[in-house]
Amino acid sequence: MREGRPKTNIPTDLLRTLIAVVDLRSFTKAAVLLGLTQPAVSAQIKRLQYLLGADLFDRSVQGISLTQQGEAVVTYARRLLSINDQIMHLGASDARCEMVIRLGTTSDYIAAILPATLARFRERRPDLRFMVRTVPYDVVVRDLRSGGLDVVIGMSLNPPPDAHHVTARETVWVRGVSTRVNLDAPVPLVTYGEESPFHRVAVNALQTAGLNWEANFVGTSIASLSAAVAAGFGVMPFARNAAPDLGLIIWEDAPLPKLPDLYSGIYVCEGGDRAILEQLADEIAEMLYGTTRRVPKLVIDKPRRTNPAA
């Protein structure tokens, strides 16, 4: 604790700047989002660190990396800002004051097909606005549990006990027209990367079958991955029901091991307007799955070893 540091309240604008830097992983992008200059963002972070008497970012590594104290501050900041925004909403004198619902998914494919459902939902509730974020698995789970997200759509390796809706998704190999696989050589993969459950089920299946593999193309968007598959970079694991929408060829008789099902779940955060959030989750489930198993009891306050990453 730094001597001489006055005890004071923490301005919420400093906390919002911190969250923007962490979520966007860039001081420059945070400045653009907040309508500030980069020096102004840096000055706000320095002021926040001064008020807290702790370094929030680990300067020993490149990029945006939080210290242990920084992780704790971000968690509490998300909760505080969420409560602050709810209070402002309740206290608004304008009856048309809008409510923001924050949705998160690890799949840019899901993010791309959500707007149609959200638009229909907003026709009945014109006071609603939506923020949709596509972020890595660990960020989605952290933000859901800390109150930074209201609804999350994600994929897990096992049936998640804490999902509001869950359904099994058949996973298949997809390929390009000219794709060939030589089992005496490493199987060429097109993949989101190691954090993706699609990647993990593919690697586990190949290793169990005694086959070697190599990542010939790693991408962060389904558009780039689909193009890589079509160009013949390799095979890719993907959900059967979604493959035709992207023009992906399902390799029905692939000389590769059968892939296990993955489980797609929709998670709803505790707190907020539960009736609206659950109704929205129900309509997203209908759009994504048609029919689903509704999980009667939702528990998200304890960490679990499920991996809702699409």
Least confident of 113-117, 157-161, 182-186: 157-161
Distance CA 10, CA 20 (A): 16
SS3 state at 3: coil
Over residues 119-128, mean pLDDT: 89
Residue-wise pLDDT tens digits, 37-59:
889 999 999 999 999 999 999 98
Structural contact between residues 153 and 117, judged by C-beta atoms closer than 8 angstroms: no
Distance CA 236, CA 248 (A): 10
Closest by CA to 304, choosing from 257, 272, 263, 254, is 263
Buried b (16+ CB within 10 A) or exposed e, 108-127: bbbbbebeebbeebeeeeee
Q: Which pLDDT does position 89 carry in this prediction?
A: 62
Structural contact between residues 238 and 258, judged by C-beta atoms closer than 8 angstroms: no
Instruction: Give the confidence band of 302 by pLDDT, cuts at 50, 70, 90.
Output: very low
Please determine, for residue 149, whether its predicted confidence score (pLDDT) is greater than 80: yes
CA distances 5 to 52, 55, 63, 68, Å, are 8, 14, 28, 21
DSSP for residue 225: H
Closest by CA to 242, choosing from 137, 167, 294, is 167
Model pTM score: 0.62
Task: Pull the structure tokens for residue 50.
Answer: 């001064």
Q: Is the backbone of residue 225 left (phi > 0), alpha (psi -120 to 50) or beta?
A: alpha
Closest by CA to 273, choosing from 65, 64, 127, 95, is 127
289 or 249: which carries more pLDDT confidence? Answer: 249
Buried b (16+ CB within 10 A) or exposed e, 214-251: ebbbbbeebeebbebbbeebbbbbbbeebbeeeebeeb
Instruction: Give the confidence band of 242 by pLDDT, cuts at 50, 70, 90.
Output: confident
Closest by CA to 106, choosing from 172, 153, 147, is 153
Domains of the chain with bracketed CATH:
12-80 (1.10.10.10), 98-168+263-294 (3.40.190.10), 171-260 (3.40.190.10)
Alpha helices in 92-136 (DSSP H): 108-124
Task: Pull the structure tokens for residue 231.
Answer: 């160009």
Percent of the chain with pLDDT strictly greater than 90: 37
Which residues share a beta bridge with 265? Answer: 154, 166
